[in-house]
Structure 1
Amino acid sequence: MKNNNFVKDLRFRQEIINQKLSMIFVDNDILSKASKYAIINGGKRLRPILLIEFAKLFSKVNNYIYDFALALELIHNYSLVHDDLPSMDNDDYRRGNLTVHKKFGEDIAILVGDNLLNSSYEILFNLISQEENKDNIIEASKYLANKAGKNGMIEGQILDISNDFTNSEEILNMYNKKTCALIMAACKCGAILGNGNNKEVKLAEEFGHALGLSFQIQDDILDYEEDKKIGKVTFANYTSKENAEKVLVEYSNKAINILNEFKEDTSFLNDLVKYLINRTI
């Protein structure tokens, strides 16, 4: 029953994000249609939910926190659109539907990714210009930009497409950049926007790192056989599936232990960790 209640709460949060995302691109031009297709095409909404939940620990969640969460989700989805391109992962399907380049063409897909990224920064600059809580928004925006760029997600993508790893630590380093960066940004930015203190902001960042690694390693385990067939190097097939399962437990336990250090109610986040590491997709 408890798990059913959690799933219901999670779906409710996802639906709120989906409704707000659906209102961003409403024009009938091809770029708007393709951009809307890219962001409404399913998705766990993990990053915006994490941001909102961490903000909620320390303050009331206002509209600007939701807007910041949307900007973060746009950045995540731009990276997926570009990841799917023929020059990168060359995927035909994403979330059970045709990828953007398969639906609209490679040229439009490139521009969709550009549009999602630029739209995210339009949202952030609007928040900075309109909201009273400017210092926190600026601090969170700087951290997000850093984690989305060369020092974070983009460097992780570079390491991933090289597919040239000599040890498992190099693979984990790639995960730290490609997967963990935006999850860490979600948690830390949420704590910053919620006006958490320095210790709380640091704990949020550490939680994001532990959750990000456990989330990615669970993906490795789920995709173990398929990745072996196509020769994709992951932590699981570089070491072993059994070792990956062991490391998954270590990082998920670390994430839960970090949550226990907060004075606030982290029960939803605790259940979210357990839900993510036990998922089958």
Structure 2
Amino acid sequence: MFKLVGMAVIFACVLGGFVMAGGQLMVLVQPVEVLIIGGSALGAFLQANPIRIFKIVLAKSPSMFKERFTHEYYTSVLCMMYEILNKARRDGLLSLEDELDDPNSSTIFSKYPDLLKDERLITFVCDYLRIMSMGSMAPHEFENLFDMEINSLKEELDHPAHAVNKVAEGLPGFGIVAAVLGVVVTMGMIGDGDKEALGHHVAAALIGTFLGILAAYGFFGPLSNLLEHDAKEELNVYESIKASMVAFSSGLPPALAAEFGRKVLMPGHRPSYKELDASIREATKR
């Protein structure tokens, strides 16, 4: 919601100020300038990044306008971890075999449909539960394995934000390219003596620079920051899962392991001890 408010403020202030200064809004409608700037930026993005990064950015961008990692989301993750670890302690790790082979029909995972949609998260949890069930592993070895995968995951999650940031840095330059081309067209018309047409083309050239700068600092720059923040919050979820599972492998009870996971979460969305305890009690009744 606040992201949409921010975009509305940008449009209101920039366009409102332009109109108040006596400008005409239709002058800003320059499809050719948009084509040059947008097409150049898209081409540079495709040239600099693998196609999977383009697909990730395309899929993630619309979701940036809603809160994906909410207080309830983190609570659900901790409750799910408690239930899984509690079953492992009560019935043994081998009792989770059916749950891990088909999470969609699992009695535990199916309680959390929003989490079940996140294939990477569920795969992450299942993989480490399988490793635990294969045999005894020292907690520090288990933690080292977590750290190596989380470091790789961080690089993967950070890449879209860096890619969009590079586009944001290049947009003012593409705006200048559009402006220069507009000036070239204008120079070619000087001999015609049509002052109105000359004025129109000069304005169009200047608008190219304006659009490039506005897109860079008003939209693509903030989008890269949103993607970066989203990556940090997603990584924090995996760090919380790691803390819970390492604590459990060290011999701590499931409730305390879930508490370890809770303390790792960022304070902004971290549930309190009482909230988590109440949510766990409610979940185990279902």
Q: TM-score, normalised by structure 2?
A: 0.26
User: Which structure's CA Rg is the greater one?
Assistant: 2
Question: Normalising to structure 1: TM-score of the pair?
Answer: 0.26
Structure with a larger share of its residues in helix: 2
The structure with higher relative contact order (CA 8 Å, sep 6+) is: 2
